[in-house]
Amino acid sequence: MTDHDDRPESLPDDGTARSELWRRRSVIAGIAGTAVTATAFTAQRVLPGGDEPPAVTDVRRTADAPADAGGFANRDESYAAIGQSEQISATQVPPPAQAAPPTLVFATASEAAAAAEVTVPTILDTSDPALHLLRRTTFGPTPDLLGEVHAVGIDAWLAAQCEPIRIPDPAADLGWAAFPLASADPATVRSSIERTTWGAMADYGRATLARQVWSQRQLYEVMVDFWANHLNVPTPGPGGWDVGPSYQRGVIRTHALGTFTDMLVAAARHPALLRYLTAEQSNKDSVNENLGRELLELHTVGVASGYGEDDVRNSAYILTGRTVVGRDGPGEEGSFRYDPDKHWVGPVTVLDFQHPNDTAEGGLEVGDAYLRHLAGHPATAQTIARKLAVRFVSDMPPPALVERLAAAYLEAGTAIVPVLDTLFRSVEFWAAVGQKTRRPLENVTASVRILGVMPDGDIAHSVGRLYNATIDAGHQPLSWPAPNGYPDVHAAWRSAGNVVAMWNLHRALVGDWEDGLTRPDPIGLVAGRPAATVGEYVDSLCARLCFQAFQSAHRDALVAFLGGDPAAPIGRFVDNNDALGAIALVLDSPYFSLR
Amino acid sequence: MTDEPLSTSLHPECPDPSRLGPDPAQGLLRARAARVAADRAARDDRWRRGFTRRRFLAGAGAAGVAALGSQLATARASFGQAGDGGGTLVVVFLRGGMDGLSALVPAGDPHLAAARPDIAVPDSALLPLDRTFGLHPALAPLHDLWALNRFTAVPAVSTPDVSRSHFQAQDCLERGGSSAGTAEGWLDRVLDAMGPGTTFRAVSAGATVTRSLAGDQPTLALRGIDTFVLHAGDTPMHARTVEALSTLYTGLDHPLAGDVASTMEGLNVATLLSAVGYEADAAYPEGAFAGHMSEMARLIKADVGLRVACVDVGGWDMHTGMGRFDDGTMARQLSDLGETLGAFATDLGGALDRVNVVVMTEFGRRVEQNANQGTDHGHGAAVLLLGGGLAGGTVPGAWGGLAPDQLDQGDVPGWNDYRDVLAEVVTARLGIGAGALPTIFPGHQVRPVGVMA
């Protein structure tokens, strides 16, 4: 038998591993944030939760707290750290505090935009903050949208976007209406389709894509996608055949710009999440820990908070009794039901949450109190603040920004809009031009939007074609199979297959291969811009599709594609595939691949 | 738009492959060689002109990081150097935590039957292996390979740092099994130790990059050979498009430049393979996993230099309703796994001798079933191994049984270390020298488990 005493002596057994995790997070984040942060180093922070894990005496034993296993706090942080190793090992001591911390947060977004200096080299033109704003807060800028921001100003545009209900949305409403089951309640779904088939969820995914592409409420749609991934219930996916659309509407869309507390409480009472994470089958006699664990790890405090296996167990105890009505009732099939007979009764402790939990009838209220506690926990604030910063700023966001967003989250009682407001009033957001790469779905939507492609004929069919394109790209809306949602950092998406999928998509869109969609007119696309010669046409295409001039070598490549003579008149190629090929190439370029 | 015979664009000067050889296949091969040579010359030129800056800026105000340099350096060896007969490692990762006690069953252990009244595989149904271990009947195709010394399994495998969190356990294993590891995936370090290879030397199946392969070394993440084809129109248009795309990513200081470089190099080979057509030499079951494994077999047989392949399989997080040994979720999942791996072995034929498949998962599951006829997250996992060079006829590795005093918080402990199993395989199969192991598995002293002959 192999002996097991090869555990390195230096391996900590008293909780220092957890501190190490925090230290490493901070150092990595500090690398990315040094230029725009005053004091990035946060190694001495106090751990939420506070209690130390028991000493590990048996070398065969696993770590009690996931945080003690070391490593990174979540997947995206792990992927994004690749290539940073040298800096990690080289940074053994905190960097000295800067003498005069620069102002990092302003009264308004436009002031922050004006104050921000883009110091990180990027191929993108950094001169127009409105364009940067649209690249980050929409599924793809359009000339009309850019004109709108220029006309009303950054602050007014953002304020309007934060009140989506007041923005008329006729095109997206049309797209949505083409999928009637996307709006159907669970009872209607059950009476409309064969049991356990995925038609309603398929409708919902397509209706979602239609909104992402054609909605005027772009920031809202971006946040809907953000939260749908954070509280991921794959749609289509197991258990959602009748209740999946209801979850996406009633939990995610309803609360996407509300408070995280309300969203979390609603999620943990929704049949779709309870089925997906099998909590509806858990009961007091033998709990299953699925939801109780993911709630801590993914949805709220995260492993770095230091919870242990006992916390996971108690988390699962608290959630027992939350069930879904079956075919035999009582009540409507597929509806949420709290069953006191299944609730585990007795004192519960999870991190700093404690409750006597002494009646079966009171178990649902204990659970809601627990969820509200978790939603408002400082460690949850960190989780969500960082995730938002990864979505909107960079794959390795500056820690000072994360701290600021977390503070705003707590101060606002988990309300989302104040956190976004803080984000957009922060210099770090405006300084991060070109630091994100479009994921496949974002490339699809941005391509459709910039080309102005619209349904041609049957809308459901047209949107279905676009949806298939997102499947080909490996990134259809709402469909990551695991509870942690799609990755949001480029390191996870580096893929030759994706590169080619995007190139082929661009050709399909401009070449009218996707029947049911309008095809862009090569000349109409640059209407009002100079386009008499090859050189003018190339420049106008770049300006129209990427809002900037290309570097000369890249411009030359496009001119070469069109025959090589920039002074040649365009007449001889606009009627053949050359112009369409050039349009596709502009979309293939790095100027369009970044956001 | 019609699909042009893209293979005709493979040769830079001669668009008609039939003129290049005695038959179209020979012509295509020669066209391929010429195209590779032309590509290499063009790429070298691109590298001279740009592409050599070594800074990848990760965030607002980021400092520079060396990333692209090593990536481009190792991508230089071309397809033309394949065919050296080197081995291939295929890592199959079962996402969700596969219950090892259902796959590799300690027959006759009274604690198993007591802990799992509804889901334990009865001894009478097991396919006998070594010691007291038996194989789940749904894995019968693997038992056939066992008889040929082409299959074995190791019980109770983990590392000291693995937790019961899916993410943490996967991340820890994929970075090399230790919290002390660097950020790169362990297979990225394996590739680094192997030195230059072909564009196809590391392939990850799917839309995202398997974490084990993530790092500086170029990797192709693919959903399939036949979808990895650029549809850019007729032959002249295709050639002009490729030329323009190459230039558009020249001088770009971003990892996208590396992605595109790998893409451009891989496209030629994939286009050729796709144009030649393919039919597997075995009947695979339906499904994504089988499709991916079939594509890996295709690449291995095409001898394009594939050395490390990664395929993920989801659906193993069975908190509820695992079912009986002959009917249920686990039986179905294992059946798909067994049939696919069996087909893969059949498909490869004699080439299986140069291949090893390692089937791993982030953790095993709790010994005791829960109230939902499922199992919650546990610790020690079973590793399955296929291919040539195995120490036949044995189930290697330490095992302490399932008596309560032998368990770790109710779980099978990590009697055996993942790193020891993996180190043995990469040493034997990929020719990794012992000197590289401390880099691949930092902080770990490798002790062979005895999986390889």
Q: Closest residue of B to A4, CA-based?
A: B415
ipTM score for this prediction: 0.85
Q: Which residues of B touch A487 (CB under 8 A)?
A: 208
B118 touches chain A (CB under 8 A): no
pLDDT band per the 50, 70, 90 thresholds, residue A84: low
pLDDT band per the 50, 70, 90 thresholds, residue A70: low
User: Are residues B62 and A495, on separate chains, in Cβ contact within 8 Å?
Assistant: no
Give percent of chain A with pLDDT exceeding 90. Answer: 71
**End-to-end alpha-carbon separation of chain B, Å?**
54
| Per-residue model confidence (pLDDT) at position A68 | 65
Q: How far is B116 from chain A (nearest CA, A)?
A: 13
What tens digit of pLDDT does each residue of B181-191 get?
578 899 999 99
| Per-residue model confidence (pLDDT) at position A61 | 52
Q: Which site among A27, A82, A232, A578 would you substitute to test the B interface, given the most B Cβ atoms closer than 10 Å to its Cβ?
A: A82
| Per-residue model confidence (pLDDT) at position A41 | 26
User: Are residues A475 and B207, on separate chains, in Cβ contact within 8 Å?
Assistant: yes
Q: What are phi and psi of B215, to 5 degrees?
A: 160, -155
User: Are residues B63 and A87, on separate chains, in Cβ contact within 8 Å?
Assistant: yes
What tens digit of pLDDT does each residue of A574-584 get?
667 899 999 99
Query: Which residue has better confidence, A350 or B83?
Result: A350
Q: What is the distance between the alpha carbons of residues A292 and A367, in angstroms, rounded to a whole number?
A: 11
Selection from A178, A229, A192, A213 nearest residue A74 by Cα: A229
User: Are residues A66 and B228, on separate chains, in Cβ contact within 8 Å?
Assistant: no
User: Are residues A62 and B208, on separate chains, in Cβ contact within 8 Å?
Assistant: no
Q: Closest residue of A to B313, CA-based?
A: A481
Cis bond before residue A271 (omega within 30° of 0): no
Q: What are phi and psi of A594, to 5 degrees?
A: -95, 160
Determine which helix (DSSP H) or strand (DSSP E) holds B144, and give its type and residue range.
Answer: helix B140-147
Q: Closest residue of B to A298, CA-based?
A: B167
| Per-residue model confidence (pLDDT) at position B79 | 36
A353-355/A348-350 β-pairing:
antiparallel
Q: Which residues of B touch A581 (CB under 8 A)?
A: 232-233, 237, 240-241
Q: Is the pLDDT of residue A58 over 60?
A: no
Selection from B428, B418, B353 nearest residue B386 by Cα: B353
Size of interface A-B (CB pairs under 8 A): 339
Q: Which residues of A touch B215 (CB under 8 A)?
A: 82-83
- Nearest Cβ partner for B95 among A1, A17, A482: A482
Least confident of A54-63, A107-116, A288-297, B155-164: A54-63
Q: Which site among A34, A59, A78, A287 would you substitute to test the B interface, given the most B Cβ atoms closer than 10 Å to its Cβ?
A: A78
Q: Which residues of A touch B260 (CB under 8 A)?
A: 499
Q: How many CB atoms are located within 10 Å of the residue B250 CB? A: 20
What tokens were used for B16? Answer: 């008609």
What tens digit of pLDDT does each residue of A194-245 get?
998 999 999 999 999 999 999 999 999 999 999 999 999 999 998 899 999 9
Q: Which site among B3, B259, B362, B369 would you substitute to test the A interface, given the most A Cβ atoms closer than 10 Å to its Cβ?
A: B259
Q: What is the distance between the alpha carbons of residues B49 and A407, in angstroms, rounded to a whole number?
A: 47
Q: Is the pLDDT of residue B4 over 70?
A: no
Please, how many CA atoms are within 13 Å of residue B71, restricted to the half-sphere of its CB? 31
Q: What is the distance between the alpha carbons of residues A353 and A168, in angstroms, rounded to a whole number?
A: 43
Q: Is the pLDDT of residue A93 over 90?
A: no
Q: How far is CA A28 from CA A36, B69, B198, B353, in A?
A: 15, 21, 32, 43
Q: Closest residue of B to A120, CA-based?
A: B61
Residue B308 pairs with which residues in a beta bridge?
A: B89, B202
Q: Which residues of A touch B266 (CB under 8 A)?
A: 496
Q: Is the pLDDT of residue A323 over 60?
A: yes
Least confident of A77-86, A185-194, A333-342, B113-122: A77-86
The per-residue pLDDT of chain A, averaged, comes to 86
| pLDDT (average), residues A161-169 | 97
- Nearest Cβ partner for A33 among B60, B204, B319: B60
Q: What is the distance between the alpha carbons of residues B404 and B382, in angstroms, rounded to a whole number?
A: 19
Q: Which residues of B touch A297 (CB under 8 A)?
A: 165, 167
Q: How far is CA A429 from CA A390, A405, A432, B193, B300, in A?
A: 10, 12, 6, 39, 46
Q: How far is B231 from chain A (nearest CA, A)?
A: 6
| Per-residue model confidence (pLDDT) at position A83 | 62
Q: Which residues of A touch B253 (CB under 8 A)?
A: 121, 123
* C-beta pairs of A508-513 under 8 Å, 24+ apart in sequence: A508/A469, A508/B231, A509/A447, A509/A448, A509/A451, A509/A453, A510/A451, A510/A580, A510/A583, A510/A584, A510/A587, A511/A577, A511/A580, A511/A584, A511/B1, A513/B1
Q: Which residues of B touch A303 (CB under 8 A)?
A: 163, 165, 167-168
Q: Closest residue of A to B182, CA-based?
A: A85
pTM for this model (two decimals): 0.81
Q: How far is A46 from chain B (nearest CA, A)?
A: 21
Q: Which residues of A touch B168 (CB under 8 A)?
A: 66, 69, 71, 303
B403 touches chain A (CB under 8 A): no
| Per-residue model confidence (pLDDT) at position A528 | 94
Chain centroid to Cα B224, Å, comes to 14
- Nearest Cβ partner for B165 among A303, A503, A551: A303
Please, how many CA atoms are within 13 Å of residue A132, restricted to the half-sphere of its CB? 30
Q: Which residues of B touch A281 (CB under 8 A)?
A: 319-321, 371-372, 374
| Residue A16 identity | T
What tens digit of pLDDT does each residue of A531-552 get?
999 999 999 999 999 999 999 9
Q: What is the distance between the alpha carbons of residues B390 and B259, in angstroms, rounded to a whole number?
A: 36
Q: What are phi and psi of B155, to 5 degrees?
A: -85, 160
Q: Which residues of A touch B414 (CB under 8 A)?
A: 60, 62
Q: What is the distance between the alpha carbons of residues A277 and A481, in angstroms, rounded to a whole number?
A: 12
| Per-residue model confidence (pLDDT) at position A29 | 35
- Nearest Cβ partner for B182 among A85, A297, A473: A85
Q: Closest residue of A to B66, CA-based?
A: A83
Q: What is the distance between the alpha carbons of residues B387 and B452, in angstroms, rounded to a whole number?
A: 10
Q: What angle do CA B390, B391, B397 make, to 5 degrees?
A: 110
DSSP assignment of B41-89: HHHHHHHHHSS-------STTPPP---HHHHHHHT-S-GGG--S---EE
Least confident of A71-80, A423-432, B47-56: B47-56
With a CB-CB cutoff of 8 Å, which residues 169-198 of chain B face chain A? 169, 171-172, 175, 178-184
Please, how many CA atoms are within 13 Å of residue A188, restricted to the half-sphere of its CB? 10
DSSP assignment of B145-163: HHHTT-EEEEEEEE-TT--
- Is the Cβ–Cβ distance between B92 and B313 less than 8 Å? yes
* Residues contacting A165, CB < 8 A, separation 6+: none
Q: Which residues of A touch B175 (CB under 8 A)?
A: 71, 78
Selection from B32, B45, B121 nearest residue B78 by Cα: B32
The radius of gyration of chain B from alpha carbons, rounded to an integer in Å, stands at 23
pLDDT band per the 50, 70, 90 thresholds, residue B41: very low
User: Are residues A309 and B63, on separate chains, in Cβ contact within 8 Å?
Assistant: no
pLDDT band per the 50, 70, 90 thresholds, residue A491: confident
Match 């590990």 to its residue by tokens. Answer: A56
B151-158/B416-417 β-pairing:
parallel
Q: How far is B160 from chain A (nearest CA, A)?
A: 6
- Is the Cβ–Cβ distance between B383 and B92 less than 8 Å? no
Q: Which residues of B touch A72 (CB under 8 A)?
A: 171
Q: What is the distance between the alpha carbons of residues B381 and B417, in angstroms, rounded to a whole number?
A: 10
Maximum Cα interatomic distance, chain A, rounded to a whole number of Å: 84
What tens digit of pLDDT does each residue of B271-297 get?
888 888 889 999 999 999 999 999 999
Torsion sign (Cα): B233, B236, B240, B246? positive
| Residue B415 identity | W
